[in-house]
Structure 1
Amino acid sequence: MHGPHVRSPPEGVAAGQEKPETGAMSQAAGEQVKQAIAGVFDRASDTYDRTGVEFFSIVGRTLVEQADVQPGDRVLELGCGRGAATMPAAERVGAGGHVLALDLAPGMVSRLRDDLEQAGLRQVTCRVGDAEAPDAEPGAWDVVLASLVLFFLPDHEQAMRSYRDLLRPGGRLAFSWFAVDDDRWERVFEELVAELPPSSRSARRPGQDGPFASADAMDAFLRDAGYNPVTEVRPLTVRYPDDATWWSTMWSHGRRSTLERLQDEGLLDSTMARMREHLDGVRTEDGALEWTGGMAYTVAAR
């Protein structure tokens, strides 16, 4: 599953690293992966979700709506990025509620704090924190929120089980993930890793393993973990007005990890040229590029 904007690197989270399947990674290796991801997003934080392409904002708003965040709620957000879900959640909880937004990348946290101050949303606390093992009060949250994050955690299954202990009785775990890919982009992204050694190309794609394999698999996993889940898949089209916007967007999220490696090895220009040979397969009549797929929104009550 490629997705239009990837929250974390899919082709090896750092040079020479391949991300093993769930359960195959030691704690030390998992920490190394998470720190590599944090570094990528530190470097991307200035332009993350700021290239003029609507994607994260749509998914974030929809997730908050699906979670049915209410005035006065206490919301714990994991992997907040630049606030695509934080902002609508803060507006919904109002002055009587509270949002604790965590991200492992300090640059994301710093920029989101600035954005929150400018918006006057004082009901949000934003700090560096680990989505896999959040430092948050147990049994205190009406909603645990995570937009396009959980499938990249080294042990996402254990993490999802553990979130139940953070929720108040009747609280909800709500998260979004890629459910339906746009196969027209397959050739484009094959070229992205064509010159990299096989050891750096993770076979794992978000939405292809474990509970993320399908909506039914997700709901079955969560029921077994003690939740009452409902997953809804909604279609989504992401539009890049021109090739330059698409390319700048590639640098603004998790794909940056692979682009940086290609640049370091002197392979970026040749890779970019080959990728562009396949863009006509996703081009509209007016010259824009489009990705059309499906996003899953899961709300699981405690």
Structure 2
Amino acid sequence: MIRRWVLLTLLVLTTAPLQAAEIHREKSLYRNIVVKEADGRRCLLFSVKRGDRNQTCMDLEDPQRLVFPYVRMAFGGLLLNPDPTRVLVIGLGGGTIPTALSELYPDAMIDAVEIDEAVVRVAKQYFNFAESARLKVRVSDARVFIKRALLQDRTYDLIILDAFTGDYIPEHLMTQEFLQESRDLLSADGVLVANTFSTSVLYDHESETYQAVFGDYLNFKLPISGNRVIIAGRQGLPSDFVIKSQASRLVESLRPYGIDPRTFPANMSREKDWDRTRRLLTDQYSPANLLRGDD
């Protein structure tokens, strides 16, 4: 009996996940920032009232591989524009998305906008993020940055919205006015990619707001992820045939990042699966109204 108990104890000890070791913690102007390591991964977390929320995880043995499904999904925008030369990423996290894009497109100019200087510092210190002549961090509120970029007549071929406070997206980055400004910043064949949630009290309102600004878009969801990625084009959407062809073209270049783009098209829907009567999110009617029950 004792021998059996010892064997069971050893089995539990060897199969249980390692306790995460906290290697960094600080309180910035905007949030509590935590870096932890466990099971061969280093993760950036934002600590909020309901607990710690992962923002970025890096595989310590294979840092190039993108760990989270939603991060891999963000590269679905390349199926609409596979050769961007100017890229804007809103929200830095650990810097995995702009880093991967700079490797894929070494001649592209990439701006990464992050409101929190502490996040930039942590990304550089713990997640191998580095700026270069063609990859620059702009410490700014995204709304302010986009307004200034419009005044300077800048355009981008690819815009990725990946700004999370920990629980959700800042409300001023979800409104019709903001999305219209983002659309205006796209080049003629530009593509916008937005990381959001597939289940939320805001789903119908958010969906209808994107529809009002962009027209039809792709709703990209994976069974293994609670996220959805919205993919919209400045000039509408290409055919399914074109999307599948681009997916095949990108297989080899995306392989080092753990991405198989051939799996993407089957999970991209053009169906309007939301209540079309819901009010649009605007600067005057923001998500805060909905969360207070002011629908």
TM-score by length of 2: 0.50
Task: For residue 96 of structure 1, report the CA deviation from its aligned partner.
Answer: 1.3
- Trace 1:118-129 onto structure 2 (pairs within 5 A): 122-129=133-140
Question: CA shift at 1:131, angstroms?
Answer: 2.3
Question: How many percent identity over aligned positions?
Answer: 15
Q: CA RMSD in A?
A: 3.2
**2:29, 2:187 → 1: CA distance?**
29
| Structure 2 contact 58–67 (Cα < 8 Å) conserved | no
Paired amino acid for 2:201: Q
- Counterpart position of 1:100: 111
Q: Tell me which residue corresponds to 1:246.
A: none
Distance 1:76 1:38 in 2: 24
The number of aligned residues is 176
Structure 1: gaps (5+ residues): 1-35, 181-206, 237-292
Change (3 A) 1:70 1:125: farther
Q: Could you say which structure has the higher strand fraction?
A: 2
Is 1:296 aligned to residue 228 of structure 2? yes
**Per chain length, whose mean CA-contact separation is higher, i.e. which structure has more relative contact order (CA < 8 Å, sep 6+)?**
1
Residues 59 and 208 from structure 1, CA distance in 2 versus in 1: closer, same or farther, beyond 3 angstroms? same
**Larger CA deviation: 67-76 vs 51-60:** 51-60
Which residue of structure 2 lines up, in the alignment, with residue 199 of structure 1? none
Correspondence 1:112 to 2:127: no
Answering whether residue 169 of structure 2 is matched by residue 152 of structure 1, we say yes
C-alpha spacing 1:129/1:219, structure 2 compared with 1 (3 Å): same
Per-residue displacement from partner, 1:28-75 (whole Å, max 9, x unpaired)?
xxxxxxxx985215x336851348699864322221234446345211
Aligned counterparts, 1:50-61, within 5 A:
50=57, 57-61=68-72
Residue 174 of structure 1: how far off its partner (Å): 0.4
Whole-Å Cα distance in 2 between the matches of residues 116 and 160 of structure 1? 28
Equivalent residues of 2:94, 2:129 under 8 A apart: no
Q: Which has the higher helix share?
A: 1
Structure 2 residues not aligned, in runs of 5+: 1-26, 37-42, 45-55, 235-295
Q: Does 1:79 align with 2:72?
A: no
Are the counterparts in 1 of residues 160 and 192 from structure 2 also a CA contact under 8 Å?
Answer: yes
Q: Which residue of 34, 52, 60 corresponds with 1:44?
A: 34
Q: Secondary structure of 2:143's match?
A: coil
Q: What is the CA deviation profile of residues 206-227 of structure 1, one whole-angstrom value per residue up to 9, with x for unaligned ones? A: x212xxx14xx54432231144
1:111 Cα offset (Å): 3.2
Largest Rg, 1 or 2: 2
What is the CA distance between 1:81 and its match in structure 2? 1.1
